[in-house]
A and B are shown apart, each in its own frame.
Chain A
Amino acid sequence: MNPGDDRFEELYRRYRRSILAYLQRLGFSYDQANDLAQDAFTRVYRNMGRYRGEAEWNYVKTAAQNVAYNAIRARATHKRKGDNVPLENQTDLAARGAAAEEKVALSEVGAAIEKLPPSLNAPLRLWLEGFTYSEVASMLKITVDAVKSRLRDARSRLRAMLGVEIEGLEDDDDQEK
């Protein structure tokens, strides 16, 4: 028996349920979650020598995130095949809303967002996708206050670039569920 087997069994026993629950929260079925958890623990087993103590739980989490990412990416890539629609000339969707009133085309707004530096672009996009401040902070490894501050900065820069007032981005406290 490999000397690391006992330690691995202990890790597996201790963390398997957490990993399964995490994967199911991401939308995987019980069977899929089981398969992915198996993959994650296989990665852990292969690298048992490199991780010790508290780092083990972090490594298990990282392995789970990695297999989950790959599975979702494969699914998303498959779904997108044949779905590449050139949007550069897309008709202004905003036949609705204030952007149209201000004569600002969506393409201009999109271009302005693209020009934001990554430190402002990422929190803005995640927040627009409906992630809470806490979730954005967790993903970007920054504080909730930093997220709000970056959203304020993004708003100021967009206002400067587009010459149009932007609805408050960081005041929407209903985001925190």
Chain B
Amino acid sequence: MIRKSDLKAAVDALPPGEPPSSEEIEAYLNGELSKEEEERLQTRLAHFPELARVFTEPFPDPHEAEVVEFAAASSRPLVFWRTAAIAAAVTAAVFGGLMFQSQSKARRLTSELTRPRTDLENALLLPDGQRGNPDEEAPITLPASGEDLLLMPALIHQPEFRDYRVDILDLNVPAPRPVWSSTGIRRRSDDTFEIWVPRTFLNPGIYQLVVYGIDGTMEPLAKYTVKVPRRAGQSPS
């Protein structure tokens, strides 16, 4: 039996081609395409889930938002002017606060990204099946501390390739899917790769790194199943 994960792997292995152009999307959105053209465009779009999401993500209903904002005022007509003024002041304060918070957060994040970091945990990863102990099939548990993780998957007895690709698959869902993928990863002289992962990128759970060698064809070289533990002091969500 072919499973959903096999179908997904088969689809992922297909060359993605080019996503629909801006002009094609404009025509699609304006309803200027024939049914067949629409279906073809949707099929091409399906290769690019991050682009397809533009059309599946719902818009928050603006009318609903207005109802919520004014519900308190309209329910007490006798003090309408007063309630409305208070509501307006509170709304202004809340939005002012939110805006200030957002701007402060953006500034803080920018600052954090550009300054040296110290709270980094290293994790040397040996391939599944090659860890040389009875628990070798168990996932490697990553450190529970540290703001960021430096993952260092190691290759054992693997030839050199022109290029390497690393995927990180989320195994916590019925159909495991890559949450990150990149080519052009440098193989270091000690046969390891270095991937810096902010802890916030991976929720607690099980993930699998897959390293491929690329030399005209793409060959899976090693897999590393890892467990991202809940961070020390982090409450279950």
Chain A positions within 8 Å of B, measured between CB atoms, are 14-15, 17-19, 21-22, 25-26, 29-31, 57, 61-62, 64-66, 68-70, 72-73, 76-77, 80, 82-91, 93-95, 97-99, 102, 104, 106-107, 109-110, 113-114, 117-119, 121-122, 124-126, 128-131, 135-136, 138-140, 158, 162, 164-167, 169, 172, 174
Q: Is the CB of A91 within 8 A of B6?
A: no
Q: Is the CB of B54 within 8 A of A99?
A: no
B85 within 8 A of A: no
Q: Shortest distance in angstroms between A129's beta carbon and chain B's nearest beta carbon?
A: 4
Q: Is the CB of B42 within 8 A of A140?
A: yes
Q: Is the CB of A122 within 8 A of B1?
A: no
Q: Shortest distance in angstroms between A16's beta carbon and chain B's nearest beta carbon?
A: 9
B19 within 8 A of A: yes
Given contacts A122-B39, A138-B55, A172-B174, contact A66 B26 (CB under 8 A): yes
Which one, A62, A66, A88, contacts B22 given CB within 8 A?
Answer: A66
B220: nearest residue on chain A (CB-CB)? A93
Given contacts A93-B13, A139-B42, contact A165 B54 (CB under 8 A): no
Chain B positions within 8 Å of A, measured between CB atoms, are 1-11, 13-16, 19, 22, 25-26, 29-30, 36, 39-40, 42-43, 45-62, 65-66, 102-103, 106, 165, 173-175, 177, 183-184, 214, 216-220
Given contacts A30-B106, A69-B25, A85-B183, contact A128 B11 (CB under 8 A): yes
A98: nearest residue on chain B (CB-CB)? B1
Q: Shortest distance in angstroms between B68's beta carbon and chain A's nearest beta carbon?
A: 12
Q: Shortest distance in angstroms between B234's beta carbon and chain A's nearest beta carbon?
A: 23
Q: Which of B7, B26, B106 has the most CB of A within 10 A?
A: B7
Q: Is the CB of A22 within 8 A of B22?
A: no
Q: Shortest distance in angstroms between B211's beta carbon and chain A's nearest beta carbon?
A: 13
Which one, A86, A95, A122, contacts B43 given CB within 8 A?
Answer: A122
Q: Is the CB of B9 within 8 A of A93?
A: yes
A-B contact pairs, 10 of them (CB 8 A): A14-B66, A17-B62, A22-B58, A69-B25, A85-B214, A94-B9, A106-B10, A106-B13, A136-B56, A165-B2
